[in-house]
Structure formats: structure tokens, C-alpha cells
Amino acid sequence: MNIVELLTQREFLIAVLAAISAAAVVFTFGSSMIVRQEMRGRIKRVAVERDRMRAEEMARLRGNVSSNADGRVSIRRGTEAKSYMKRAVERFDLKKAFQDDSTVDKLAMAGLRGQGELTKFLFQRLAYPVVIFIVAAVYLLIMAPGDRPLYLNVVYAIGAGLLGAYMPVLLLKNKTQKRQASIRRSWPDCLDLLLLCVEAGMSMEHAFKRVAKEIGSQSVELAEELTLTTAELSFLEDRTRAYDNLGRRTGLDNVKAVMTALIQADRYGTSVGQALRVMAEEGREARMMDAEKKAAALPPKLTVPLIVFFLPVLFIVILSPAMIKVFSGSVASTVGG
């Protein structure tokens, strides 16, 4: 029995489909458990961050903590980097080579806060091209050299290493985009909840805390940012710095606009509820405009699938009866003649 007969057997196809179905069921339930465990881990990290910020603020009030150059207190979290990563970063002076003024903010937008995450990112900028170059060189020079000259294989390996230098940046950008998409999707609902809490008589600290609990089931990332903002509002002297930090960490224009409105309301003594109401209405209008924009872009996107997939099937369904009659008539006439 050859491989073609095995793949076309009915029992084999049924077994394959059953295996795929079982794997899909296991993946579905397993992914839900992973998401729950990840949410618990995030909530635990936020609680640890709150305790750390309390201790840091108490030390700052005693004069033992220094702030950043621009006066902002860093809000960071993250696991500690390995010792060999720290040694590599210090020995090769990777901070001078790869770090700029926006590196910390970019990591914060991806949810990576802390000196450990910065050290890991700088180490990846060095390790990725070296590892990819070695793997490509081993593959091209030893495992599959082909008929190419030696220098050409070396050039290909060097090119793969240069491309690997941008892989940490691409991975960071991809993680940032996913995080921002989650926050952007839940932000209008967050504004509505904030407005309800403020109009009910809550302070901004309690409003952020309450909304963080409610919005966690929809967006864990946004709940995490709101919880950190709650901690900042509780311990920072200047409330505007907490609002500014939230806009800086998310990197979203709509979040920054709301934070600017809250800063102005806090600075000039205007109504916070009125500012939130205006921003919530603008958020709903922006969501409606985005939906209309996607609906308007749908017909051009459906043109190619319609031509490639639907029209041939439609032609086959329409023309098949006529073609069957024509061929059956010609065969009958040939047999009769």
C-alpha cells in the first residue's frame, strides 16, 4: 500500500479529522486556562508594584529617592535580568549603542517596565544577530552548501545576521501594537464607566480603581494601566503627573487627549464630569466613524474574493445543466447513428 492509497482511505481521513477536532477542543480549553493564569499573574504583579510604589513614595518623602531628569517618577515592573545579560550589557556598553531617549517609553508601551526588561532588550539586540548568523552559517556552509561559492554562502549568512538585528525591534513593535489595540478597543467603555463613577460622587482615585476592576474582563492591559494610575494618584504629589504618565505609557492619542482634559480640569478647577462627558461623546463618535470607515472599505476588499471564488462557482452552477444536456445529446446522437 503506497502513501497515496493511505491518504485517500476513508478510515484514515476520519481518524485525521477526529484528531484535529480533539486537538481543537484541547486547545480551546487550554487557552482559556492560560488566559486566566496570565490574568492572575498580571493582577499579582500590579499588587506588588503598588506595594513597591508605596515604599518608594515614603522614601521619597524622607528625601531618599531621586526623580528623573524631567521630574517624573518612573513606573516600572518586570523580572530581573540574568547576570550574564547584565555583564554583556556593561562590557559591550550596549546602552550607548542601542538605547536612546525613547527606548524606555517604547518598552513601557509594550508593558515592559523595569531595568531588567531594558537589560533583556539590549542583550537581545546583541544576541539575535549573532545567533542567527551562526545558525545560517552552519546551515549554508555545512548542512546545505549547494553549488554556490563559499563567499556567497558567507554573504548570505551575514545578511541573515543583519536582518536578525532588527528582530527584537519588530517583536517589540508587534507586542506594542497588540497591547494598544486591546486598550483602544476598551477605552470608550472605560470612559463611560469613569463618567458614571464621577457623576455618582466618586473621586478620581476611586473611579479609576472601580473601573480597573470592571474593565479587567474586557482588557487586562487597560486594567493594569488604570491600576498603576490609581497607585500614582494615591502617592504622587502632583496628580497631573499621574495623568501624563498614563498617556505616555499607552502611547494612544485618544488616551492622551482625555488625560490632557483631566489635567486642565484639575489645574483650572473646571468640572471633571463635564470634561469626561465631552470626551466620552467624542469617543463614541470616533468609534462610529471607524465603523463607517470599515464598512465603506468592505466592498473593495470583497471584490477580489468575489471574482476569484464566487463567480467561477456561480458560472459552474449555471452552465453545468446546459453542458450536461449538450454532451448527453451529442452522445445519444452518436450512439443512434
Question: Residues 239, 157: one domain?
Answer: no
**Cα-Cα end-to-end distance for the chain:** 45
Range of the domain at 45: 3-61
The amino acid present at 308, given as its one-letter code, is V
Question: Residues 39, 95: one domain?
Answer: no
Question: Residues 159, 195: one domain?
Answer: no
Looking up cell 468592505, which residue turns up?
298
Question: Residues 226, 185: one domain?
Answer: yes
Distance separating alpha carbons of residues 77 and 107, to the nearest angstrom? 11
Which of the 8 DSSP states describes residue 114? S
The answer to whether residue 238 sits within a structural domain is yes
Question: Residues 193, 238: one domain?
Answer: yes
The answer to whether residue 127 sits within a structural domain is yes
The amino acid present at 71, given as its one-letter code, is G
| Count of structural domains, the chain | 3
The answer to whether residue 52 sits within a structural domain is yes
Question: Residues 286, 223: one domain?
Answer: yes
Angle at 317 between CA 312 and CA 321, to 5 degrees: 135
Question: Residues 89, 7: one domain?
Answer: no
pLDDT for 218: 87
Question: Residues 184, 160: one domain?
Answer: no
Question: Residues 188, 161: one domain?
Answer: no
Closest to 174 measured CA to CA, from 120, 259, 112: 112
The answer to whether residue 317 sits within a structural domain is no
The answer to whether residue 303 sits within a structural domain is no
Distance separating alpha carbons of residues 137 and 134, to the nearest angstrom? 5
Question: Residues 34, 119: one domain?
Answer: no
Closest to 198 measured CA to CA, from 268, 258, 284: 258
The answer to whether residue 72 sits within a structural domain is no
CB 180 within 8 A of CB 222: no
Question: 0.75 exceeded by the pTM?
Answer: no
Question: Residues 185, 284: one domain?
Answer: yes
Distance separating alpha carbons of residues 244 and 261, to the nearest angstrom? 11
Question: Residues 275, 188: one domain?
Answer: yes
The answer to whether residue 320 sits within a structural domain is no
The answer to whether residue 231 sits within a structural domain is yes
pLDDT tens for the chain, 337 residues: list them: 566 566 667 777 777 777 887 777 777 766 666 655 556 666 666 666 666 665 665 555 444 333 343 433 334 445 566 788 888 888 888 888 888 888 888 998 998 888 888 899 999 998 999 999 999 999 888 887 777 888 888 899 999 999 988 899 999 999 999 999 999 988 988 999 999 999 888 888 889 989 998 898 888 899 999 998 988 888 888 888 999 999 999 989 889 999 999 999 888 888 888 888 888 888 888 888 888 888 888 888 888 888 888 888 888 888 888 888 887 777 666 666 5
pLDDT for 47: 62
